[in-house]
Amino acid sequence: MALIYIVEDDDSIREIEEFALMNAGHKVLGFNCAGDFYKKIDEVIPDLCLVDVMLPDENGNEIVKRLRRNSNTKKLPVIMVTAKTTDLDLVKGIEDGADDYIKKPFSVMELISRVKALLRRTLAENVKELTLDSLVINNDKHEVSIDGNLVELTYKEYELLSLFVRNQGIVLNRDTIMDQVWGTDYEGESRTIDMHVKTLRKKLGDYGSRIKTVRNVGYVIE
């Protein structure tokens, strides 16, 4: 169960969000303005926040930027909820520090799915060590080893391998990989994924063959 704060001035939307997340097993507190939200977060920091963009006292983007400037909340998972649907608006939210966004109107299932995915990802990123049999990823030292032998990887290769291992057995589509490793503002071609997977497989030796290509979808590590 996670503690989730919702900042939304539309009572009907906030009530839907609260009801859906509580039914999913989470503890939820709702706020209709930034001021009340700030007072509460000074007392208890939640596991995740849902922040509307258009609020009566402060823009949601400003809330996110303020959270990122505070050492206590700079890593707090934040999903922005917005009626603004242009690419520029969405990219701005991510650049300001949001981890994800949901466009209005949205389904309850989409909301629960996005929250679940972000909580899972955040938990995985906070794990100091990831393992795949004899392959060990040490997040504190930012090192990868196989049978105790260090494997030299570039930063993107390390991030790509970490993403695969965190999602072992799950097929990751190309959009997800691009978003998680290169970011939504990356303007290069998606085939850069294939190039990095190729070099990663080579460096991992026998473990490289465990990164499988799923045709027309993406990749999975087994």
Q: What is the pLDDT of residues 180-217, one digit of tens each?
A: 787 655 556 668 889 999 999 999 999 999 999 998 88
CATH code for residues 3-125: 3.40.50.2300
Closest CA to 14 of 36, 25, 30: 30
How far apart CA 91 and CA 50 sit, in angstroms, is 17
The token pair at 210 is 């465990």
Closest CA to 131 of 164, 169, 165: 165
Domain ranges of the chain: 3-125, 129-221
Which of 17-26, 100-109, 117-126 has the weakest average pLDDT? 117-126
Mean pLDDT of the chain: 87
Q: What is the pLDDT of residues 163-173, one digit of tens each?
A: 899 888 888 88
CATH code for residues 129-221: 1.10.10.10
